[in-house]
Amino acid sequence: MAPITKDELEEMIVELEQHRGRATELITIYIPAGQNIYTVANQLEAEKGTAKNIKSTSTRKNVTDSLDKISRELKNYKKTPDNGLALFCGNISKVEGQSDLQVWQFEPPEEMKMRLYRCDKEFVLEPLKEMTEIKEIYGLVVMDRKEATIGVLEGKRIEVLHKMTSGVPSKVRAGGQSSQRFHRITEGLTKEFYKRIAEEVKNSFIDNPKLKGIIVGGPIPTKDEWVDGEYLITNLRTKIIGVIDIGDTDESGLKELVEKSKEILSKQEIIKEKKLLVNFFNHLGGNRDMTAYDYEPIKKALDNGAVETLILSKKLNKDQFKELKMLAENISSKIEVVSSDTEEGEQFWNITHGMGAILRFVVH
């Protein structure tokens, strides 16, 4: 069994969300990568004993029947799949007193790190939803002259990487010091602090291929001094996608920065999609023989192993979507999924009926 794709996972989540139990009788099991599957099977046997204590006759029957069904499914595995295993089982009948016992099982598209067994009125889906989120990361920098915090945004998770302080004295200067001399000292210390921040940002992100952009936050004019002063090396300076006014420069500042950057972050995905489709249209206009669109020409190109990049619209018929995607995977084509939320996405749908390809070679 191969891992399901992220698109298939999104469809699975939508399906599982539709089901509700009459009591806490829908079972969710997450088996993490590397977990001994026989250990899990033994634990489920123990859960059957616990289920016998459920007072409600119908709930007790539904839970024990589900556990029996899951145990039978687990016997088909000699070991836990590489990415782990997700299982969902329960009576999903909408008619009270009738049974419609269903089980879903699959290897997720990413490594499952969570171990879970739960009976509830609904399936536990949050760990799977996290897998469907965009996985590019964004560097976060919040700073003033006294303090800086460097973090990373991955999906919805914010992680603090470094906290720094400058040692720049407050504006109240020591007795006897002239105003100009004090100003020179503080400016010198501030510039050194800016250099240290830039160095830490470089160490944190320069070798990370997932870095999509850097967002900088802080009070006016500190953050602007740092960005405009070109303390950051060119490769990273060009990655700055937003400079935001915020007050805090600690962990709460990172959260505020992300909150105020939602529009910037959403635009990044739109920009990516637009670039992809503009590239396709350029190929279509300038080198027609190296492109294909609509079902029959694309299927022919896939059958001939000629597709370099397959582009599919989210609006596409699910059966065609799955078929073309599977054929593309078999020949190691790059697969891109686009929305129709942008002008380019709508144009793509109107011209190609939601499917287009850039080819490796001409198909006659």
- Tens digits of residue pLDDT in 224-265: 999 999 899 999 999 999 999 999 999 999 999 999 998 888
Pairing of strands 211-218, 240-245: parallel
All domains of the chain, ordered by start, with CATH?
6-131 (3.30.960.10), 137-260 (3.30.420.60), 267-359 (3.30.1330.30)
pLDDT, averaged across the chain: 91
Closest CA to 301 of 359, 243, 247, 356: 359
- Coil, strand, or helix at residue 253? helix
Closest CA to 151 of 160, 142, 163: 160
Would you call 73 exposed, middle or buried from its count of C-beta atoms within 10 A (0-12, 13-18, 19+)?
A: middle
**Phi, psi for 102 (deg, rounded to 5):** -125, 150
Q: Cβ contacts of residue 69 below 8 Å, gap of 6+?
A: 89, 101, 103
Distance of CA 269 to the CA centre of its chain: 12
pLDDT tens track, the chain, 364 positions: 678 988 789 889 999 999 999 899 999 999 999 999 999 999 999 998 899 899 999 999 999 999 999 999 999 999 999 999 999 999 999 888 888 999 999 999 999 989 999 999 999 999 999 888 766 789 999 999 999 999 999 877 789 999 999 887 766 555 555 778 877 888 889 999 999 999 999 999 998 888 999 999 999 999 999 999 989 999 999 999 999 999 999 999 999 999 999 888 878 777 888 889 999 999 999 889 999 999 999 999 999 999 999 999 989 988 899 899 999 989 999 999 898 877 899 999 999 999 999 999 999 8
Single-letter amino acid, residue 143: M
Question: In 143-291, which residue ranges form alpha helices assigned H by DSSP?
Answer: 179-205, 222-228, 234-237, 251-260, 262-286
Q: What is the C-alpha to C-alpha distance for residues 20 and 169, in angstroms, rounded to an integer?
A: 61
Closest CA to 164 of 148, 186, 153, 182: 148
